[in-house]
Structure 1
Amino acid sequence: MSTIAVTRVTHSCHLIEIGGRTFLTDPWFSTRPGYYQGEPIALSIAELPQLDGVLISHDHYDHCDLETFTAYRDHSVPLLVAETVVEHAKRTGFDNVTGMRPWDSGEIGGVTITAVPAKHGVHEITFVLRAGADAVYFAGDTLLIPELSEIPQRLGHISLALLPTNGLHVRPAGNMQVVMNAEEAAELTAILRPELAIPHHYAFTKGWLGDRLITSSDRDPSHYLEAARKLAPDTTVRITEPGTRVEL
């Protein structure tokens, strides 16, 4: 019987099943001007299963939509978050919030969650979830940084990697890159050597005008698929539509 499953809700919001527990990553269940998923939101908050924990990588709205997520039925659900998210989470009514620094670990129901370094336009962490020999790496929307190469040595084999691929650039900030691109995600795949990798964070759009004036990005996940075939041929890459449950 499979011990790992993932359902991409939208963007980088996933339901991760591991060790008999269910976790939600980077909740995003609404839209606002300039922030659009570019794809369906597969589940409403009311349709979510009972969660054992919520992991939040950073305080950008498209990863930390806590004002909308307050509709979730259990405000005592454990939240493991970047330190910069703690006060935001408490202000919105969640009372079981743990701020994490890189390489900190916590445990929920026999699943160990370890914060991993990241780099983005604001402070960010990423996460490895482990139950026995099974492990999932959730990469939020980090850049590729040297610290990520430490994951196999520090945390062991990764079974499933969930990786951003759109290489987002911010035009008004000197066209600064803030998210890894398809080739860099493939490089990280070669380092982690998971059995399965699933791209995320590629359909996002700021709308017709915002995409031309504020951001630029690669919205085609097949570019990652092609790069990973060359750099990490032993890893299966699967491009998943929101709502598709994938078992490993």
Structure 2
Amino acid sequence: MRRRTFLTSLAAVIPAGIILSNLDLNGPPTLTHTSNPKLPYDKQPSGWKGTPRLSDGTFQNLYHPFEASLAAVLKWKLDKNPQEEAKKTDKRRLEVNHIGTFHPNGRDELIWLGHASYLIYIGGVTILTDPVWLDNWVLKRNSALPIDPEQLRDVNYILLSHDHRDHCDEATLKLLGKLLPKAQILTGMNMGSLIQSWMPKNKIQEAGWFQTYDIKESLRITFLPTRHWSRRGLLDTNQRLWGGYYIESGESTIYFMSDSGYGSHFKLISETMGSPDYALMGVGAYKPEWFMHPAHISPMDAAKVFQEMGGKHFIPMHFGTFDLSDELLLEPLDWLKANPEAVNGALVEPIVGKNLLVG
């Protein structure tokens, strides 16, 4: 990884314990559970109490407490990447199929826009996920955006999984707020205060894990747990909830993983929601694994999760667009193509701008 991102990475993983706003002078925080009282639970695990949150206001993972180590990030950033020379000479990039206009004509579509961003048309509803489309001081795209944002006029919902800058981009959301003022934002608890000023005309719904959003169409979208964390600056660690999504229509189901380390929550999701027809699995930004594994899953573990969840079609994402870690941009896809049996031969090879639905 280029060392120009050192300060950005450092800010992203400074331990919560050294941030004064997170210190509780009255003793250690206690565990509570929370939810949005305005949203229902259509499906929930047995004995579910709500989204775990400490009394200091920080959200918590289900099975793996969030831990950050300044020493660990310094070790990662200062150690030599064994693939550094290979990355300098690697010119391979994702294949991009440019879209002139978006006219679904009544048939479902699932179009990858790069990284964790999708354009989805399902059950007559148009959805965007985690749109990060414009270069900024932190992120530079290595794959072209396949569509002109001006072509999007009838988007119903924008799903924002969490506040990290490779999933939640201020400039992109300000643009979409102007282009799509009627689109509703579906996101996690406490995200509204971050994005409302960027999109002042857009309605925002904030959910806890396993809560279902209030939508009019014959579609169900449920917010789900991941093993991850959140931070936008230096003083807001885990103040906003992170998560993934389960989208259900009468014809098919789509699981959007977002960012996650490996954990038992995947099995909990499939037991509660069912096995997905399409599993959109993060597979990149995973090296070095000793450092990345609590927050980003490897292609090997993503394949294992797919097997555990009983998915039908495996669609890899979160690689190839942004250079966030030590591996080569297309390395995760290389491994998946070399090991098709790992996902039961169910790999859908992703092409940016192409409809990835099978059939």
Distance 1:133 1:232, change over 3 A: same
Amino acid at match of 1:47: Q
Equivalent residue number for residue 296 of structure 2: 179
Equivalent residue number for residue 104 of structure 1: 211
CA distance in 2, matches of 1:154, 1:83: 21
CA distance in 2, matches of 1:67, 1:85: 16
Q: Kindly indicate whether residue 342 of structure 2 is the aligned counterpart of residue 231 of structure 1.
A: yes
Equivalent residue number for residue 241 of structure 1: 351
Q: Kindly indicate whether residue 308 of structure 2 is the aligned counterpart of residue 191 of structure 1.
A: yes
Amino acid at match of 1:82: G
Preserved contact between residue 226 and residue 261 of structure 2 (Cα < 8 Å) = yes
Residue aligned with 2:220, SS:
strand
List runs of 5+ in structure 1 lacking aligned partners. none
CA distance in 1, matches of 2:298, 2:229: 15
Equivalent residue number for residue 29 of structure 1: 133
CA distance in 1, matches of 2:338, 2:306: 12
Amino acid at match of 1:232: V
Amino acid at match of 2:181: H
CA RMSD of aligned residues (A): 2.4
CA distance in 1, matches of 2:152, 2:166: 18
Preserved contact between residue 153 and residue 180 of structure 2 (Cα < 8 Å) = no
CA distance in 1, matches of 2:137, 2:287: 19
Preserved contact between residue 285 and residue 318 of structure 2 (Cα < 8 Å) = no
* Structure number, greater radius of gyration: 2
Q: How does 1:38-77 map to 2 (within 5 A)?
A: 38-72=142-176, 73-77=179-183
CA distance in 2, matches of 1:86, 1:226: 42
**How far has the Cα of 1:51 moved from its partner?**
0.8
Count of aligned positions: 237
> Residue 11 of structure 1 is aligned with which of 93, 98, 115?
115
Amino acid at match of 1:115: F
CA distance in 1, matches of 2:134, 2:273: 34
CA distance in 2, matches of 1:165, 1:84: 27
- Greater strand content: 1
**How far has the Cα of 1:113 moved from its partner?**
0.5
Amino acid at match of 1:104: Q
Distance 1:99 1:156, change over 3 A: same
**How far has the Cα of 1:67 moved from its partner?**
2.8
TM-score by length of 1: 0.86
**How far has the Cα of 1:121 moved from its partner?**
4.1
Preserved contact between residue 37 and residue 205 of structure 1 (Cα < 8 Å) = yes
Amino acid at match of 1:244: K
**How far has the Cα of 1:130 moved from its partner?**
0.2
CA deviation digits over 1:77-120, x for unaligned, max 9? 11111224211221212431011111111243111001110122
Distance 1:133 1:145, change over 3 A: farther
Out of 125-134 and 88-97, give the one that drifted further.
88-97
Preserved contact between residue 156 and residue 182 of structure 2 (Cα < 8 Å) = no
List runs of 5+ in structure 2 lacking aligned partners. 1-104, 231-240
**How far has the Cα of 1:125 moved from its partner?**
0.3
CA distance in 2, matches of 1:246, 1:239: 8
Preserved contact between residue 193 and residue 232 of structure 1 (Cα < 8 Å) = no
Equivalent residue number for residue 114 of structure 1: 222
> Residue 255 of structure 2 is aligned with which of 134, 137, 143?
137
Q: Kindly indicate whether residue 124 of structure 2 is the aligned counterpart of residue 20 of structure 1.
A: yes
**How far has the Cα of 1:194 moved from its partner?**
2.4
Preserved contact between residue 52 and residue 77 of structure 1 (Cα < 8 Å) = yes
**How far has the Cα of 1:201 moved from its partner?**
0.7
Preserved contact between residue 220 and residue 249 of structure 2 (Cα < 8 Å) = yes
What percent of counterpart residues are identical? 18
Residue aligned with 2:265, SS:
helix
TM-score by length of 2: 0.61
